[in-house]
């Protein structure tokens, strides 16, 4: 019974990877998303990417970052980007192995350890993202944070 459950889990994970892998085909193979890598996070599109918003507003008088805040935020951004790039690369390599494996006829049980490793890496990437948000929130004043979140909800 346990083997059957593992097979079902591995098959579901493999299908999810195929459906949501590192390339988004939401707009069709030749659409604007073709070839664009998906982020390596478990939670996508629901958490703010504050460093991306901050970089656009870096010298904004409305945001009003101090020199000290900029120094701290730069460290948070550099650490976050380095960790996410490393994890993204690892996830991408493993996803390719799963796709190649299932396409070459491997059984889902054979792919389970790789799928499990992908899940572990995506969990780690999500924690990096959460830490970035937390650290950024600690550096910013509440009104600065509200300003950034307002920009995010306005689509900027």
- pLDDT tens figures, 112-129: 999 999 999 999 999 999
Q: Which among 43, 57, 51 has a CA at the least distance from the CA of 147?
A: 57
How is 17-81 classified by DSSP, letter by letter?
HHHHSSB--TT-TTSTTTTPBPPS-SS-SSS--HHHHHHHHTT-TTT---HHHHHHHHHHHHHHH
Residue with tokens 């493999």: 14
Report if pTM > 0.85: no
- pLDDT tens figures, 72-109: 999 999 999 999 999 999 999 999 999 999 999 999 99
Residue with tokens 């097979």: 7
User: Which residues sit opposite 23 in a β-bridge?
Assistant: 37
Report the chain's C-alpha Rg in angstroms. Answer: 19
């Amino acid at each position: 019974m346990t083997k059957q459950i593992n097979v079902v889990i591995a098959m579901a994970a493999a299908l999810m990877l195929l459906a949501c892998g590192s390339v988004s085909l939401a707009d069709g193979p030749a659409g604007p998303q073709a070839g664009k890598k998906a982020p390596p996070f478990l939670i996508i599109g629901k958490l703010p990417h504050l460093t991306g918003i901050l970089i656009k507003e870096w010298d904004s008088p409305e945001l009003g970052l101090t020199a000290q805040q900029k120094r701290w935020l730069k460290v948070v951004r550099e650490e976050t980007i380095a960790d996410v790039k490393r994890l993204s690369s690892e996830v991408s390599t493993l996803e390719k192995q799963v796709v190649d494996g299932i396409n070459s006829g491997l059984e889902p049980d054979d792919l389970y350890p790789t799928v499990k490793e992908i899940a572990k890496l995506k969990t780690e990437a999500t924690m990096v993202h959460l830490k970035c948000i937390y650290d950024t929130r600690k550096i910013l004043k509440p009104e600065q944070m509200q300003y950034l979140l307002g920009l995010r909800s306005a689509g900027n």
